[in-house]
Each structure stands twice: as structure tokens, then as C-alpha cells.
Structure 1
Amino acid sequence: MATTGQVITCKAAVAWEANKPLVIEDVQVAPPQAGEVRIKILFTALCHTDAYTWSGKDPEGLFPCILGHEAAGIVESVGEGVTEVQPGDHVIPCYQAECRECKFCRSGKTNLCGKVRAATGVGVMMSDRKSRFSINGTPIYHFMGTSTFSQYTVVHDVSVAKIDPVAPLEKVCLLGCGVPTGKEFFDVLQISWIYYQIVNVVNGYYTEFEVIRSTDQSNAF
């Protein structure tokens, strides 16, 4: 693409301060470095976590920053060494990234990976501990390694999931957070329900609630 290797100036909703209105600004987005991907964001959603950080209640919140972590878009360019996606691919940015190298990733407990989080948790990229966003020379922090309230964003290559190009981006953007979070919550509920039944069986009683839950699973996801 014509913009490959160049700084892109685009619109982004910037949170300059906690609990202050977001401001639409012209933001400079640097090209991706090694192991990074620059994405053109086409659809983004609003999550309660965005509002929580914006409110100032998040102890890890940093300002100024570009919020947003539920989105879908198209790869604009990639940095050196990136092989799993290429320009033109439809993708979803993933805030819960995995380095694939640490003991947690190797053991399958990828949700505990801290290598990527060590950088994204303080609003910067891993390679140089700097942001790819700036406004007239002033760095703007990344948020959750995604920052999707921008027309363009830069993420780590391990923070990108390639999707089928026929998938509707306005819907699959929710896969970035809302859908998996809901699935995890449902799984927890199922585990809690099983535990509750075991306790009741051990205690020698079985309530009407359990009878209904055990015989009617028609509403299960």
C-alpha cells in the first residue's frame, strides 16, 4: 500500500484526562516495527472496561490515551518478521495476547502470559517501550494493546486474529471481548451449578431448582 512505512495521520478519540469528554484529534500513527501490525479499524464497540478506565477508577489507567479494545479491521501494513498476516487481511485485535514463549504459554495457561502485558499494561510497545501514537510530538498511550478508538492502530503480531473475509466486521468486532467474556462467564456459571448440585447430593437433598436445571437445558448456549 502507498502508506506502507510512512506515518499516517488519522482521526482518533483521545482521552486527555480521566472523566473528561473524549476529543476527536488528528493523531500521527507511526509505521509498525518488527513484530507489529498496523490495522485500519473499520468497526469498534464500546465496553464497560473502556468506561471504567476513562472514569479514572482504574488504578492502571494512563492518560492521555486512546481507548477501545473491541474492533475489527483490515491490515494496512506489517513490520519485519510478521508472517501470519499480511496487508489486506481481515483481522480482530486481541487484547489478551500470548507471547507463545513463556512458561505459561508453553503450559497452555496462555491467559497468564505476562510478557506482552508488561508492555501493554503501561501503554507502550514491547520492542522499544514507546507508543506508536503521537499528536504534534506528544506521545499518546496505547490502551490494552489495541486502542481501537482510532482509524488506524498498531498492535503486536501476537495480538491479531485473522478472520474469514466474508465475516461481517460490524458483528465480529464483538469477538474481541464481549463474546469470549460472556462465554467465560457462562462456563463459570455451569461449573458453579455443577458444584452446587454435588454439594446438595452429598448433603442428601435435591431442590426443585436443580430438577428444572437438570431436565431443561434448552436455553443453554
Structure 2
Amino acid sequence: MAVAEGANENLNPNETKGKIITCKAAVAYGPGKPLVVEHVLVDPPQKMEVRIKILYTSICHTDLSAWQGKNEAQHAYPRILGHEASGIVESVGEGVCDMKEGDFVVPIFNGECGDCGYCKCEQTNKCERFGVDGMKKVMVNDGATRFSTVDGKPIYHFLNTSTFTEYTVVDSACVVKIHFDGDGDLNPYIKKLTLLSCGVSTGVGAAWNIANVHSASTVAVFGLGAVGLAVAEGARARGASKIIGVDINPDKFIKGRAMGITDFINPVDEEKPVYERIREITDGGVHYSFECAGNLNVLRDAFLSAHEGWGLTVLLGIHPSPEMLPIHPMELFTGRRIVGSVFGGFKGKTQLPHFAQKCMHGVVKLDDFITHELPFEEINKAFDLLVAGKSLRSLLHF
């Protein structure tokens, strides 16, 4: 495996292994407050943990929601957010056998221990101990953090990963080693593979693993952020005949067209419900609809846009509201189905490496998802771009 030139030029495990590292991180001190880029202390990894030198990290809407404090479970400060990244293993804790210092890896928020009943079940990608958990803010080993301020105060973790930092410590169940098959060079893909930590895997996986979109099928995607566009890209790769994008931002269609979207519907411009419009142009409804907006009204439109008898709606949007599903039980007797999807149905450690190979071989196009590249110190600007709807993924580098 070839590692990007210069990627680990400042990484010398002989000098840092087993020691506390002082490095830069963007620390959240309260909901909506600008992140503070400052020096923090990062402890060595303990048993079955990995310390990673982050090369690139990007910002997802889940990070945005956490920063805004929309979910009470995320009210733990100070905290290091972030869950999309790529990096190099700096050191490993006792018992870690599937990776070593210098390996190229991506952290994942939905881990895979490989030993629990969930991991051994082929019907789920949930892990009993390391599955996605918005409540979790400390490490599994000892209930403590691996981050602290320079004066010794603890800094909490986020979504099993905490990637807005030059170094992070992650449970090994939440770290995936990536390599290029054969004699290929990994260098051209280092930054792009950052997107596999969440957005692209979540969207493409929903199309492939959860819906199993088939050739010549029809698809509707509600919400054209990075996840929604990843769904469209996954549907395009599977040969869908019609991919309808639904969003109130008309600028999204420009980017969406490159990712396979064939039709665009802006609800603001429609005189009738969106689901009626979709039924009209798809002879009764789509085979697959995907709700990526985290909005209950949008979810109902997505459900009703699916064809009676066989239509499937896949829920990807995060819904922090306590409101329940806007579906009457009797409506399920029409044959429409609805299912949720976490991390695109991928079992991270066993299946993500294969997906990475497909991306590196061009089956899935990653380049169009990266709209901005910024130095890490400009992380607040990257958040502003996301809030303004001007970015899909802003890639931050150290």
C-alpha cells in the first residue's frame, strides 16, 4: 500500500507512542457557539483502542445539528465533534491485531465488534456495544475521555469518533483499514475516502443494501444534501431509469444532474402535493423513495410517492422531534413499505473495504461531493457554508 507523500511526515510513533500528545482541535463549548481552535491533550490508546492522526475531516449535517444543540442527548460540553475523516494509525492499544502503525484508515460512527449477536447476524449492521449512540460521550473501556484541555479538564467524545482534531482516540471496532487492491496507488484517493466515514456510504448503501435498487427502476430522493445526492449516485450506478430529486433549493439540481438525477421537483413551485406530481410522471409511483430531509411532512410525501403494491420508502433523515410517524396503520395495507437505514446497511469493518474498492475503481463518483477545501483553522467558515446551503462537503486539512 502506498500512502500519500507527506501524509505521515510529522508522524513518528517512536516519539509519540505511549505518550500524551498535544495537538490542535476545534472544541465546542456550547450550542451555536463558534468552535474554538485550540491545543488539547490526547491520551494514548488503551486496550482495543486506536490513536489516529487525522489527515482530512469533513462536516456532515449531523455535526451541524449537534453544534446547534438540536438534540438534548448531545448537550455535553466541552466536546470535540466530527465523524467524517481519514487518517493514519499513530499507535494501537493492547489487543488490536487488525491494524498497525502507519495504516491508512477511516473512522466510522457505527462500529462492528464482530463478536456480539448483532454483528453475527446478517440481517443487521447494528453492533451491541459500538453501534451509533448519540448519548455516548466517553470511551467504553473505562467511562472516561481521552481528550482534555491543557489545564486538565475533560473534553467529551462524539459519535464514537471525534474527528475535529489533529489526533483522536477511537475504539478499534470503529476504525476501518483501507487499502488499494493489487499494486494500485492509494495516493489519489486519500482525501476522497474521507467521505466513506458517513455521507457517501450512508446514501449509496441505502440504495444498494437497503432498497437494492434495480436496473430500469424509478427512484425519488427527498432532500438533496450530500446524503440525498449519494442516494442518487447509488441509484445511477445501479441503472435506475428515472431519478427524481425533490428540494426547495433549485441550485441543487445543477449538482444533482451530474449524479444521475433526471427530474427535479421544487415543492415551492407545485400547486398540488409532491406525491401526486410524482405519481403522474411515474405511472402511479416510484419503486423506491428516500427521505433524507428529517422532516415529517416530507416523509409522508415520500411514503405516498411510492407505488402501491411494491413501493418501498427508506428513511435516512434524522428526526429529533418527539412527533410520531405521519402514517396511519391501515395505509400499510396498500402494499407500500417503510424501513429505516443506518450507515447504508454496511457492516463497517467487513464490508466497507470492499465498497472503498468500488469507489476507487470509479463505480461511484466521489469528486463531485467535495465542493470546498479549507485549512482546519477555517472550520467555522465551513460550518457557515453548510448552513447557507453552499456546500455539500467542505474538506478540512491540517
TM-score, with normalisation over the residues of structure 1?
0.84
- In the alignment, the residues of structure 2 paired with residue 7 and residue 153 of structure 1 have an alpha-carbon distance, to the nearest angstrom, of 11
Given that residues 69 and 95 in structure 1 are in contact (C-alpha distance below 8 angstroms), is that contact kept between their aligned partners in structure 2? yes
Query: What SS is found at the alignment partner of 2:309?
Result: helix
1:106 aligns with: 120
In the other structure, the counterpart of 2:170 is: 155
Shift of 1:110: 4.6
The CA RMSD measured in Å over matched residues stands at: 2.6
Which 5+ residue runs of structure 1 have no aligned equivalent? 204-219
Alignment correspondent of 1:42:
55
For the residue of structure 2 that corresponds to 1:60, the secondary structure is: helix
Which consecutive unaligned segments of at least 5 residues does structure 2 have? Answer: 1-12, 180-184, 220-285, 289-305, 311-333, 335-362, 365-398
Q: How many residues align?
A: 204
Deviates more, 1:60-69 or 1:180-189: 180-189
Aligned to 2:71: 58
Q: Which residue of 1 aligns with 2:320?
A: none
Give 2:309's aligned amino acid: V
Give deviations 1:63-87, integer Å, cap 9, x for gaps.
Answer: 2110111100000000011111100
SS in structure 1 at match of 2:64: helix
Letter matched to residue 62 of structure 2: T
Q: Shift of residue 54 of structure 1?
A: 0.6
Q: Which moved more, 1:184-193 or 1:11-20?
A: 184-193
Q: Is the 8 Å Cα contact of residues 27 and 37 (structure 2) preserved in structure 1?
A: yes
Instruction: Tell which deviates more after alignment, 189-198 or 65-74.
Output: 189-198
Aligned counterparts of 2:32 and 2:97: Cα–Cα separation in 1? 40
Deviation at 1:109, TM superposition (A): 4.2
Q: Residue 89 of structure 2 aligns to a residue in which SS?
A: strand
One-letter code aligned to 1:140 = I
Q: Give the Cα separation in 2 of the matches to 1:109 and 1:121.
A: 25
Report if the CA contact (8 A) 1:92-1:162 is conserved: yes
1:100 and 1:185 map into 2 onto residues whose CA distance is 22
Residue aligned with 2:38, SS = strand
Q: Closer, same or farther in 2 for the Cα pair 1:14/1:37, shift >3 Å?
A: same
2:346 aligns with none
- Offset at residue 24 of structure 1 (A): 0.6
Residues 118 and 73 of structure 1: CA distance in aligned 2, closer, same or farther (over 3 Å): closer
> Which one-letter code corresponds to 1:157 in the other structure?
S
Tell me how far apart the structure 2 counterparts of residues 31 and 4 of structure 1 sit (CA, whole Å): 7
Q: Is residue 186 of structure 2 the alignment partner of residue 166 of structure 1?
A: yes
Q: Which amino acid aligns with 1:48?
A: H
Match of 1:95, SS state, is: coil
- Highest RCO, 1 vs 2 (Cα 8 Å, sep ≥ 6): 1
Counterpart residue type for residue 207 of structure 2: F
- C-alpha distance in 1 between matches for 2:112 and 2:47: 17
What's the TM-score once normalised by structure 2's chain length? 0.48
The aligned counterpart of 1:130 is: 144
Change in 2 beyond 3 A, CA 1:118/1:52: closer
Q: CA deviation at 1:190?
A: 3.6
| Closer, same or farther: CA 133–120 of 1 in aligned 2, 3 Å | farther
Equivalent in 84, 90, 108 of residue 104 of structure 2: 90
C-alpha change, 1:36 and 1:120, in structure 2 (3 Å) is: farther
Query: Is 1:180 matched up with 2:201?
Result: yes
Q: Contact between 2:117 and 2:128, CA under 8 Å: does it hold in 1?
A: no
In the alignment, the residues of structure 1 paired with residue 142 and residue 132 of structure 2 have an alpha-carbon distance, to the nearest angstrom, of 12
Q: Distance in 1 between matches of 2:133 and 2:212?
A: 32
Structure 2 CA distance for aligned equivalents of residues 21 and 157 of structure 1: 30
Asked if the contact 2:52/2:90 (under 8 Å) is kept, the reply is yes
AA at the equivalent of 2:29: W
Are the structure 2 counterparts of residues 59 and 111 from structure 1 closer, same or farther at C-alpha, using a change threshold of 3 Å? farther
Q: Per the alignment, do residues 133 and 20 of structure 1 end up closer, same or farther by CA in structure 2, a change over 3 Å counting?
A: same
Shift, 1:60, TM fit: 1.5
Aligned-partner residue type, residue 93 of structure 2: G
Counterparts of 2:133 and 2:152, CA distance in 1: 21
Structure 2 Cα separation of the partners of residues 109 and 12 of structure 1: 38
**What is the CA–CA distance in structure 2 between the aligned matches of 1:133 and 1:76, rounded to whole Å?**
16
